[in-house]
Amino acid sequence: MKHRPAEEIQDLQYFGEFGGVNPSVSDSSTYTFLSAKTMFDTFEGNTEGCYLYSRHTSPSNLYLGEALAAMENTEAAQVTASGMGAITAVLMQLCKQGDHMVSSRTIYGGTYAFLKNFTPRFGIATSFVDITNLEQVEKSINANTKVIYCEAISNPLLEVADIAALAALAKKHGLKLVVDNTFSPMAISPSKLGADVVIHSLTKFINGSSDTVGGVVCATQEFVNDLRNVNDGACMLLGSTMDSLRAASVLKNMRTLHIRMKKHSENALYLAQKFQADGIKTVYPGLASHPSHHIYKKMMNKEYGFGGLLTIDVGNLEKANAVMEMMQQENLGYLAVSLGFYKTLFSAPGTSTSSEIPEEEQEKMGLTNGLIRFSIGLDNDIARTYEKMKNCLIQLKVLY
Ligand code: PLP
């Protein structure tokens, strides 16, 4: 049976300290103990009902983690100060010197830079592969491989990972499958498809107001406990802790996530279909022309659609820049990185969010200069938006 992420969140029930309908916010970095023995036990990892220090856990962070674990159908979740705080902690927890990872080559530029430039300093190597080519993925696995890493829908090329097939490969070789689900919360449930660890940048759709950075690791209770371990836990020791006040505000925003995701998807599908019909090179997982449309359809929680991200290729960087500047001038959105906002956001990934990827690699993976990535907003009248966007494209001779 398909997972029902919105119902899982809806069914959580909270009572604040004074009977409030929102859980009380824990505005403390440290916590008292009535007995010194309990404090010792808490350090030893026996933390049932006790809080020690907010870098370890805090009530507000646990509430948010509980909602995210419910959404992703995992036993537990650990929230972090940013998406990168989640990604780096997970990979450092799973790999040690001499280990190897197989990663999709089309991933967020920051993650790519971490794997390409940073982890080798610790003797951890990564092979970058076309994640849609399962044969290539399997061929890249060696005796030292510990992790297969991918994004459910990749940034920025919107490649779709066949999570069930990758999970089977991971299982066969005794590896962990780690999936970044930032682009498709609610729409895709990687843990249901066999992923071991699901990560989000909460900065994007989940928080949805572009007012904070945040991240989460959704996994088994055992793995979450490992991340929090005071002796060797990457979250505890690297310190990527979310602030409690922020955790409380992200939790409140999550309650509208299901409605927002449906609207983002509806609007993006409308624009993708229109742009494609106009003859613009358009990539969107909801278009039958997308090479992995059928895989997305097989994986999706139907009611949430194909997500809010689409790309168009307008030929070259100059045109891409002109289109974005004009669209911003016309108040159709913002020329800004990031995604999941109520307004449309657009950027040219080759020179922004993927600029960490060397040009020749960008070329190999099909990341062209004229590519514009759109995170489509919650516009109430998307037909009006389309007409205005089309007008910009005509004025700039992208369309005739
Ligand atoms: N994963 C994806 C797919 C992203 O797009 C980003 C940021 O753009 C991140 C992770 C990193 O998240 P954060 O910026 O919250 O650290």
Every domain of the chain and the residues it spans: 5-254, 258-395
Examine the pLDDT at 161 and tell me if it is beyond 80.
Answer: yes
Helix (H) or strand (E) holding 69: helix 59-72
If 0-12 CB within 10 Å is exposed, 13-18 middle and 19+ buried, where does residue 143 land? exposed
Q: Which residue has the higher pLDDT, 353 or 296?
A: 296
The string of pLDDT tens digits covering residues 215-257 is: 999 999 999 999 999 999 999 999 999 999 999 999 999 999 9
Q: Which is it for the CA torsion 211, 59, 259, 184, positive or negative?
A: positive
Mean local confidence (pLDDT), 390-398: 97
Examine the pLDDT at 210 and tell me if it is beyond 80.
Answer: yes
- Which residue of 91, 160, 203 sits with most ligand 1 atoms within 8 Å of its CB, as the best mutation to test the pocket? 203
- Among candidates 171, 116, 163, 148, which has minimal Cα distance to 301? 163
Question: What topology is assigned to 258-395 in CATH?
Answer: Aspartate Aminotransferase, domain 1 (3.90.1150)
- Which residue of 155, 197, 355 sits with most ligand 1 atoms within 8 Å of its CB, as the best mutation to test the pocket? 155
Mean local confidence (pLDDT), 107-129: 97
- Ligand 1 pocket: which residues have CB below 6 Å? 82-84, 108, 110, 151, 155, 180, 182-183, 201, 203, 213, 215, 353
- Among candidates 138, 184, 149, which has minimal Cα distance to 284? 184
The string of pLDDT tens digits covering residues 188-203 is: 999 999 999 999 999 9
- Write down the mean pLDDT value for the chain: 95
The string of pLDDT tens digits covering residues 17-65 is: 999 999 999 999 999 988 888 888 887 766 677 898 999 999 999 999 9
DSSP category for residue 40: H
Q: What would be the CATH architecture of the domain defined by 5-254?
A: 3-Layer(aba) Sandwich (3.40)
How far does residue 47's CA lie from ligand 1's centre (Å)? Answer: 31
